[in-house]
Amino acid sequence: MRVAIVGATGAVGHELMQVLERSSLQLDELLLYASPRSAGKELTFRSRPHTVQVTPEGPIAADVILASAGGSVSKALAHRWAEGGGVVIDNSSAFRYDAGVPLVVPEVNGEAALSHQGIIANPNCTTAIAVVAVAPIHRKYGVKRMIVSTYQATSGAGQKGMDELLEQTHMVLHGKEASHHEFAHPIPFNVIPHIDAFQDNGYTKEEMKVVWETHKIIGDDSIRVSCTAVRIPTLRTHSEAITLELERPASPDEIRALLAEAAGVEVRDDPAAKLYPMPLTASGKYDVEVGRIRESLVFDGGIDLFVSGDQLLKGAALNAVQIAEYLQTHGALKSAQRA
Ligand code: A2P
């Protein structure tokens, strides 16, 4: 099988290569694409140098095309890439809300991937991390309302976001004033309740993505979802405080037992031992950490919990590769035309 990465030099591209090295995909050849700025650059995969090429504007001769070069690039080119016969698994928001494009988290709605027409969308990172924990609860107890407050790492803005955190922190520590390019305000020693553009209803687009994408992935528009999305000065891994109102009451012990069996989840919940989800422990991990599971003081029989999930992995690269693995396991990967 031949796999292509579009956006190979970016933060998610880097993680895609790491995840592919450990993946069960029967990968024979890897093609790497980025902008003309990176053409000719060499990246190492399976201990061998691979040359980065300029992203094609026409069909890509690969069975799986993992795209993470931003929404405008995908919007303009993804349909053309898929004309090579392979499937595009797109990390941007360009196609997530299109009716004919499945939006997939394999643990939750893997079967949706099987009905693709050339493009499968990888969800927004915050939503992907949340639904891994919330979908099993919804299946058993029925989620009526879901209130989310996020603590999102700078990795959500790509490599440039992480670089800005490090560089600007260095500036501040040396008595200089921090500037900002990737974020609405300086990020060091700050917390910014503004990710993506404000919408007419006062929510940001990032917050509305959590609403729209939770509905599409779980397949239930009746869940009332509200989100406050906040950028914090960490390098990677998003955390989220989630409050759930349930149709059928559940105790914290029942939720702990349910999530202990759930795919993609690691229950990390022993406050007496100072064990709970944190970016420091969840970074680099495939599973989403879930903890601080307790009874809601607001909704009778409801639940409060806290999750930390690596945005670059389950929120992006890992989920994309898991979609490809799901297609392979179900015999649904077509062979692309060879150039
Ligand atoms: P490049 O490194 O050549 O700019 P990140 O999200 O970490 O910023 O990464 C974005 C990725 O998307 C990088 O690999 C970047 O390549 C790539 N990219 C950005 N613009 C384009 C473009 N117009 N065509 C193809 N790839 C692009």
Burial class (CB in 10 A: 0-12, 13-18, 19+), 82: buried
Contact (CB, 8 A) for 33 and 7: yes
**Per-residue confidence (pLDDT) for residue 334, from 0 to 100:** 77
**Residues 195, 177: Cα–Cα separation, whole Å:** 22
**Residues 214, 323: Cα–Cα separation, whole Å:** 17
Is the pLDDT confidence value at 11 over 80?
yes
Q: Which atom of ligand 1 is nearest to the CA of 55?
A: 25
202-223: average pLDDT = 98
**Per-residue confidence (pLDDT) for residue 28, from 0 to 100:** 95
Give nearest CA residue, ligand 1 atom 2.
9
Q: Which two tokens stand for residue 60?
A: 């890509």
pLDDT above 90 as % of the chain = 98
Binding residues for substrate: 152, 231
What size, in residues, is the chain?
339
Is the pLDDT confidence value at 336 over 80?
no
The set of catalytic residues is 125, 238
**Per-residue confidence (pLDDT) for residue 337, from 0 to 100:** 63
**Residues 17, 3: Cα–Cα separation, whole Å:** 10
CA atoms in the 13 A half-sphere facing the CB of 225: 25
Whole-number Å distance, alpha carbon 244 to ligand 1 midpoint, is: 37
For ligand 1, which residues put their CB under 6 angstroms from it? 7-11, 13, 34-35, 37-38, 55, 69-70, 73, 158-160
> What tens digit of pLDDT does each residue of 89-126 get?
999 999 999 999 999 999 999 999 999 999 999 999 99
**Per-residue confidence (pLDDT) for residue 335, from 0 to 100:** 74
Q: Which two tokens stand for residue 338?
A: 């060879």
Q: What is the ipTM of this complex?
A: 0.98
279-298: average pLDDT = 98
Q: Three-state DSSP class for 276?
A: coil
Whole-number Å distance, alpha carbon 125 to ligand 1 midpoint, is: 18
Closest to 334 in 3D by CA, of 101, 85, 117: 85
Cα separations in angstroms, 141 against 54, 164, 222: 49, 42, 14
**Residues 222, 233: Cα–Cα separation, whole Å:** 34
> What tens digit of pLDDT does each residue of 155-182 get?
999 999 999 999 999 999 999 999 999 9
Closest to 56 in 3D by CA, of 33, 74, 79, 90: 33
Whole-number Å distance, alpha carbon 9 to ligand 1 midpoint, is: 7
Is the pLDDT confidence value at 339 over 90?
no
pLDDT above 70 as % of the chain = 99
Q: What is the mean pLDDT of the chain?
A: 97
Classify the phi-psi angles of 135: left when phi > 0, otherwise alpha if psi is within -120 to 50, otherwise beta: alpha
User: What domains are defined for the chain?
Assistant: 2-122+316-329 (3.40.50.720), 127-311 (3.30.360.10)
> What tens digit of pLDDT does each residue of 28-68 get?
999 999 999 999 999 999 999 999 999 999 999 999 999 99
8-12: average pLDDT = 96
Contact (CB, 8 A) for 12 and 316: yes
193-202: average pLDDT = 98
Residue written as tokens 């300029």?
A: 54
Phi, psi torsion values for 209, nearest 5 degrees: -60, -40
**Per-residue confidence (pLDDT) for residue 34, from 0 to 100:** 98
170-195: average pLDDT = 97
Indicate the pLDDT class of residue 338, thresholds 50, 70 and 90. Answer: low
> What tens digit of pLDDT does each residue of 247-273 get?
999 999 999 999 999 999 999 999 999
**Residues 220, 331: Cα–Cα separation, whole Å:** 28
297-314: average pLDDT = 97
State which of 5, 9, 162 you would mutate to test the pocket of ligand 1, scoring each by most atoms of that ligand within 8 A of its C-beta. Answer: 9
Cα separations in angstroms, 181 against 160, 186, 312: 9, 8, 21
